[in-house]
Structure 1
Amino acid sequence: MFETERMIYCSQIGEGGKVRNSGLVDILQDTSDLHLMNHPVLAPFFKETGSVMFLTHRQVDIIRRPEYGEHISTKTWTYELNRMYGSRNTIVLGEKGDVCIKSIAGGAFMDIRTGRPIRVSADLIAQVKSYEKLEMEYLPRKIAVPDTDPVITCQMVIRRSDIDMNDHVNNARYFDITDELFHECYNAKRLRAEYKFPIKRGDAVFADRYDTTSGCIISLRDDSGKVFCNVEYTL
C-alpha cells in the first residue's frame, strides 16, 4: 500500500468552484505513478526492460468532491496481478478522514518501444504483494455504447497540452476533451473510461455523444470508426 498527502489548490478547481474531473484523475494517477516509481519489485523491472503499465480502464466513484484548500490523503494498492494484467484500488480521504473517492484502474504490461503487450515472469508476480479488494461496485471494463444514432457528433481538437511524456493523450486529459460535450459533467457521481488506442497529436478525432437515462456516453474515434476511448458519465 502506498499513500500521498496534498492540498486541493486552484489548479484542480474548475467551473463553479468544483474540482474538475481531470483534476480528480490527476490526483489518482499521480499517486499510482509514484507507487510504481517507488515499488521495490516493479520499478527496477520497468527500468531494466523498458516496459510500462498501459492503462486499459478506469472507474471513479465520487462520494463528494474535495473542496478548495482541503487537505487530502490518497491511498493506492494492487488487489490483483497476473503475468499480463494488473488491477488496483485508489481512494481519496478528506481532511476529516471521510472517503471522498473510490476508484478502480486496470492496466496491461507493455513494451514501450514496440507498443505491444508483454507477458512477465511468474517469479516477478510472486514477489508483488496484493491487498484486499475495496468494497465497492465493480462495473465491467468495457463500456456498452448504445446501438442508436448519437445526439451529437463533432470533431475535437487535440491540443499540445493534452500530450504527455509518452507522446500520446494523457489518460486524465480524455475527460477534459469529453467534458466539453456534457454540460452536467461536474455533477457526475461516477466516471468510467475504456482506453482502447492512444490518441496522438495530429490524429483526427471525432466525438459521438449518446444520452442515457443516468447521464451520457461519449465515444472518441477516428474518421474510419476506430474507437480510441469511451467515456461514461453517471449523474
Structure 2
Amino acid sequence: MYQMTAKVRLSEADHTKKITFPGIVNYFQDCSIFQSEALGVGFEHLERQKAAWVLNAWQIVVERYPMIGEEIMVSTWATGFHGIYGNRNFKMCDREGNILAWANSVWVYMDLVKGHPIRPDSREIELYGSEEALPFSFAPRKITLPTASVKCDSIPVRRSDIDPNEHVNNCHYIQMALEVLPESFTFRQVRVEYKRSARRGDVIYPLMAAEAGRAVIMLCDQEEQPYAIVELV
C-alpha cells in the first residue's frame, strides 16, 4: 500500500468550501503515479518499455467531501492481476481514519508500439504485489447504455486537457461530463468506462440521458462513437 497525506487546498475547492469531485479523482490519480515512481516503474521505466498502464474503468464513491484545510490521507494498492488486466483500489480518509471516498479501478497494460494489450512484466507485478480489496460491492466494468439521449454543446479538447501521455487526462472526461450535467442533479457514485483516447485537436460531442436518479453522459466523436462513458447515481 502506498499512502500520502495532504490538506485540502483552496484551488481544489468550490463555492461550498469543500473539495470538488475532480479534486478527489486527482488525488487518486496522483497517488497511483507516486506509488509507481517510488517503486521504480513510473514514467521513465514505461518509456523504456514502450508500454503503459491505461485506465479502462473505475467506480468512485464519495461518503463526505472534506473542507478547505482539512487533513486527508490518500491510499492506493493493487488488488490483483489477471492476464492483461490489473485491479487497483483507492481510499481517502480523514484524520480519524473515517473513509471520505473510495474507488475500484481496472487497468490494461498496453504495448504502445503495436497498439494492443499485452501481459505486464512479471517484475512489475511482483513490485506492486497484491493486497486485499476494499470490503465494498464493486460495480461491473461495463456501463449499461440508455435507450435514448439528447445532444449537448460540443467541447473542443484544449491544450490544458492533455496529460503526459499526450491524450486527454482521465479526470478531464469527468469534468466535461459534470459541465453537461444539470446543476440540480446530485450523485454519490461515478463510474467511468474509457473506450479510446481523445487527443489535442479533437472535439467532444456529449450525449446525455437522465432517468430515475441516474445520468449517463457519453463523450463521443462526431460520428457518436464514444471516447468515454460516465454514469452518475
TM over 0.5: yes
Q: Secondary structure at the match of 1:24?
A: helix
| Counterpart check, 1:59 vs 2:59 | yes
Cα deviations across residues 21-49 of structure 1 (Å, max 9, x unaligned)?
A: 21111000000111111225678853541
Correspondence for 1:11: 11
For 1:135, the aligned partner's letter is P
For 2:192, the aligned partner's letter is A
Correspondence for 2:22: 22
| Counterpart check, 1:87 vs 2:96 | no
For 1:202, the aligned partner's letter is G
Q: Secondary structure at the match of 1:192?
A: strand
d(CA) in 2 for partners of 1:77, 1:36: 10
Once the two structures are TM-superposed, the CA of residue 151 in structure 1 deviates from its matched residue by 3.5
d(CA) in 2 for partners of 1:204, 1:90: 31
Correspondence for 2:133: 133
Aligned residues: 233
* Equivalences for residues 1-235 of structure 1 within 5 A: 1-39=1-39, 46-121=46-121, 125=125, 128-148=128-148, 150-184=149-183, 187-234=186-233
d(CA) in 2 for partners of 1:195, 1:232: 12
Q: Secondary structure at the match of 1:168?
A: coil
For the 8 Å contact 2:39–2:127, the answer to whether it is kept is no
For the 8 Å contact 2:156–2:202, the answer to whether it is kept is no
For the 8 Å contact 1:141–1:194, the answer to whether it is kept is yes
For the 8 Å contact 2:156–2:201, the answer to whether it is kept is no
d(CA) in 2 for partners of 1:54, 1:142: 16
Q: Secondary structure at the match of 2:152?
A: strand
Once the two structures are TM-superposed, the CA of residue 153 in structure 1 deviates from its matched residue by 2.9
Once the two structures are TM-superposed, the CA of residue 191 in structure 1 deviates from its matched residue by 1.0
For the 8 Å contact 1:83–1:121, the answer to whether it is kept is no
Once the two structures are TM-superposed, the CA of residue 105 in structure 1 deviates from its matched residue by 1.3
Once the two structures are TM-superposed, the CA of residue 212 in structure 1 deviates from its matched residue by 2.1
d(CA) in 2 for partners of 1:91, 1:42: 21
CA RMSD, 1 decimal: 2.1
What is the identity percentage for the equivalent residue pairs of Structure 1 and Structure 2? Answer: 28
Cα deviations across residues 193-234 of structure 1 (Å, max 9, x unaligned)?
A: 111111111112100000021131100111112110000111
Q: Secondary structure at the match of 1:30?
A: helix
d(CA) in 2 for partners of 1:38, 1:52: 16
d(CA) in 1 for partners of 2:62, 2:118: 33
Query: Aligned pair in 2 of structure 1 residues 185, 53: CA closer, same or farther (>3 Å)?
Result: farther
d(CA) in 1 for partners of 2:182, 2:133: 33
Moved more, 4-13 or 152-161: 152-161
Q: Secondary structure at the match of 1:38?
A: helix
Moved more, 166-175 or 150-159: 150-159
For 2:119, the aligned partner's letter is R
Cα deviations across residues 43-96 of structure 1 (Å, max 9, x unaligned)?
A: 885354121100001111101111111010011110011331101110000122
**Structure 2 stretches of 5 or more lacking a match?**
none
TM-score where L is the length of structure 1: 0.91
Query: Aligned pair in 2 of structure 1 residues 121, 170: CA closer, same or farther (>3 Å)?
Result: closer
d(CA) in 2 for partners of 1:143, 1:51: 27
Once the two structures are TM-superposed, the CA of residue 16 in structure 1 deviates from its matched residue by 3.1
**Structure 1 stretches of 5 or more lacking a match?**
none
d(CA) in 2 for partners of 1:2, 1:75: 6
